[in-house]
Amino acid sequence: MTTIAAPRRDGSRAHAQLERYPIMRELPDEGTLTTQLLAPLWTSQPAWKWLFLASGALSLLFLFAMGVTFARGIGAWGNNIPVAWAYAITDFVWWIGIGHAGTFISAFLLLLHQRWRASINRLAEAMTLFALVNASLFPILHLGRPWFFYWLIPYPATTGVWPNFKSSLPWDVAAISTYFTVSLLFWYLGLVPDLAAARDRAPGRTRRRVYGVLALGWHGSGTEWRHYRVAYTLLAGLATPLVVSVHSIVSLDFSIAQLPGWHSTIFPPYFVVGAIYSGFAMVLMLMLPVRHVFRLHDVITRRHLDHIALLLLVTGSLLAYSYLCEAFGAWYSGDSFERYTMLTARTRGPYAAFFWIMTAVNVLTPQLFWWAKLRTNVVVLFLAGVAIWLAMWLERFVIIVASLNRDFLPSSWHLYAPTWVDWSLLVGSIGLFSFLFLAFLRWLPFVPVSEVKREQREIASESRDLDGVAPEVAR
């Protein structure tokens, strides 16, 4: 099969290596391409219904566990002093971290003109959005009296009481609600031209009407594109600082506390790196099956796999460095509580097994991707994605529970064990994520059709220019 390669900008070996994997294979004309990319909207995959029902059942379990929490209070969970934070906060930090990769791919890489992002950004953004739905539920459940969640919002109450903005918890509210809103707007604005294509290709009146309303009457006129382009880029620019700020603010929940294992200035960058790392792991877990089932090998090529693997290697190595710094900081501080928590309790305490598993998996797995062959091996990538995804949950568990259960006063030390409600909330949240993601795959265009067409035109015209002007340089 002939391929359209991106133009070579320098003669380096690494680039030549990459050039073997084009951003897109030679694609059919726009009409056929649209038909191909929109086909999943009109026809259901055979296994879809069963997966959808199964994830729906797990979502019901989530709802049930929430109901139990509402009725019986936090006592239904395994939390007890000194382990006042456990599964719920672990799940919260884990989900919100996963969200970061989506914004990184769609906003950060857009601003850096990384064109390979075009085929996978919609998928990654949807992942962000659904991960944030889960993430925002856990702190609310943890309030104890969740029906008073609006007390977190500054509104003129008759009591005259306001949130205390010197606490990190109202910062969380600001950070998460902003992140969710901006991600939603960015995702929806990106969808509009593709919803218009869906409207104009939809079989039957009802679907045409639904997509027509969702597309807001987009017609693709030059005037529309002129403003749209600026709005989309601006939203990307606004989402980019959120990639860095949201998990930094989440990390402040921990680092402004006095607890050994939490009270560390390294937390904001450490959490951001971990967030992007776990998110890329989940992107792989979602993207590889989608690519396989919908046969998207022409738009999600080995180039994409290679780049995501490289990003895992980079963020994974940064995370390993953060682990090292965290331990070094505790040792160098000379503080006996810090030293005990980081060097003794973590490595030999009751949760040491989790600590060693998460360290081994998170540090060693990405090192596989020094080998170019493994970076494009679908099976290795998928397994690495799952392993990192789970190990990053363990990392948060270790930071939270292993720090809390042995604090300053040995007489108050207490082991934590989750109850069935804790487990149901964790498994249920994965169910809700899958439910939303499967709905997205079924009813919305998950590859950005219009961006792929634009990309295809640019690549074609560039290779034509190269052929026309200086054929010997082009090849």
Partner 1 sequence: MTRPRLVAEFTTADALQSAVDALAREHYRGLETYAPFDMPELDAKLGRRRSPLGWLVVAGGVAGLIIAYGIQWWANVHSYPLYVGGRPAHAIPAFIPATFEGTILAAALTAFFGVLIMLRLPKLWIPEDEIDGFSRASIDRFWLTASIFASDLDREHAAELMRGAGARRVIATEA
- Tell me how crowded residue 48 is: count the other CB atoms within 10 A of its CB: 15
Q: How far is the CB of 115 from partner 1 (least distance, A)?
A: 14
The SS3 of residue 24 is strand
- 1, 161, 379, 470: residue in contact with partner 1 (rule CB under 8 A): 161
CB 119 within 8 A of CB 299: yes
Contacts of 218 (CB under 8 A, 6+ apart): 192, 193, 195, 196, 224
Stretch of residues binding partner 1 (CB under 8 A), selected from 54-62, 109-117, 154-162, 296-304: 154-162
Q: Is 221 in the site for partner 1 (CB under 8 A)?
A: yes
Q: Can you tell me the distance from the alpha carbon of 269 to that of 323, in angstroms, rounded to the nearest whole number?
A: 12
CA-based nearest residue to 440, from 183, 135, 31, 129: 129
Closer residue to partner 1, CB minimum distance, 98 or 239: 239
Q: Is 450 in the site for partner 1 (CB under 8 A)?
A: yes
Closer residue to partner 1, CB minimum distance, 2 or 164: 164
Q: Can you tell me the distance from the alpha carbon of 275 to that of 41, in angstroms, rounded to the nearest whole number?
A: 31
Q: Is 242 in the site for partner 1 (CB under 8 A)?
A: yes
Closer residue to partner 1, CB minimum distance, 170 or 329: 170
Closer residue to partner 1, CB minimum distance, 216 or 293: 216
Q: Is 411 in the site for partner 1 (CB under 8 A)?
A: no
Q: Is 42 in the site for partner 1 (CB under 8 A)?
A: no
Q: Is 29 in the site for partner 1 (CB under 8 A)?
A: yes
Q: CA 216, 219, 223: angle at the middle one, nearest 5?
A: 105
Q: Is 217 in the site for partner 1 (CB under 8 A)?
A: yes
Task: Determine phi and psi for 125, rounding to 5 degrees.
Answer: -65, -40
Q: Is 111 in the site for partner 1 (CB under 8 A)?
A: no
Q: Is 197 in the site for partner 1 (CB under 8 A)?
A: yes
CB 91 within 8 A of CB 138: yes
- 9, 13, 113, 166: residue in contact with partner 1 (rule CB under 8 A): 166
- 111, 112, 213, 324: residue in contact with partner 1 (rule CB under 8 A): 213
Q: Is 158 in the site for partner 1 (CB under 8 A)?
A: no
Stretch of residues binding partner 1 (CB under 8 A), selected from 71-79, 128-136, 186-194, 350-358: 186-194
CB 21 within 8 A of CB 375: no
Q: What is the DSSP letter of 3?
A: E
Q: Which residue has the tokens 């026309």?
A: 468
Q: Can you tell me the distance from the alpha carbon of 275 to that of 102, in angstroms, rounded to the nearest whole number?
A: 11
CA-based nearest residue to 359, from 329, 328, 330, 388: 388
Q: Can you tell me the distance from the alpha carbon of 115 to that of 131, in angstroms, rounded to the nearest whole number?
A: 25
- 70, 162, 332, 371: residue in contact with partner 1 (rule CB under 8 A): 162
Q: How far is the CB of 432 from partner 1 (least distance, A)?
A: 25
The SS3 of residue 83 is strand
The SS3 of residue 184 is helix
Helix (H) or strand (E) holding 205: helix 205-214
Closer residue to partner 1, CB minimum distance, 149 or 162: 162
CB 409 within 8 A of CB 40: no
Q: Is 165 in the site for partner 1 (CB under 8 A)?
A: yes
Q: Is 151 in the site for partner 1 (CB under 8 A)?
A: no
- 323, 454, 462, 474: residue in contact with partner 1 (rule CB under 8 A): 454
Strand partners, 24: 4
Q: Is 39 in the site for partner 1 (CB under 8 A)?
A: no
Q: Can you tell me the distance from the alpha carbon of 275 to that of 93, in angstroms, rounded to the nearest whole number?
A: 9
Q: Is 26 in the site for partner 1 (CB under 8 A)?
A: no
Closer residue to partner 1, CB minimum distance, 112 or 230: 230
Closer residue to partner 1, CB minimum distance, 110 or 384: 110
Q: How far is the CB of 6 from partner 1 (least distance, A)?
A: 18
Q: Is 297 in the site for partner 1 (CB under 8 A)?
A: no
Question: For the range 252-255, what are the long-range contacts, defined as Cβ-Cβ under 8 Å and sequence gap of 24 or more?
Answer: 252/168, 252/171, 253/168, 253/169, 253/172, 254/399, 254/400
Q: Is 207 in the site for partner 1 (CB under 8 A)?
A: no
Q: Can you tell me the distance from the alpha carbon of 266 to that of 274, in angstroms, rounded to the nearest whole number?
A: 12
Q: Is 181 in the site for partner 1 (CB under 8 A)?
A: yes
Q: Is 457 in the site for partner 1 (CB under 8 A)?
A: yes
Q: Which residue has the tokens 């959808």?
A: 52
Closer residue to partner 1, CB minimum distance, 171 or 271: 171
- 164, 258, 336, 411: residue in contact with partner 1 (rule CB under 8 A): 164
CB 34 within 8 A of CB 201: yes
Q: Is 196 in the site for partner 1 (CB under 8 A)?
A: yes
Stretch of residues binding partner 1 (CB under 8 A), selected from 46-54, 178-186, 333-341, 361-369: 178-186
The residues of the shown chain that bind partner 1, judged by CB under 8 A, are 29-31, 34, 154, 160-166, 168, 170-171, 174-175, 177-178, 181-182, 185-186, 189, 193, 196-197, 199-201, 212-213, 216-231, 234-235, 238-239, 241-242, 245, 249, 252, 449-451, 453-454, 457
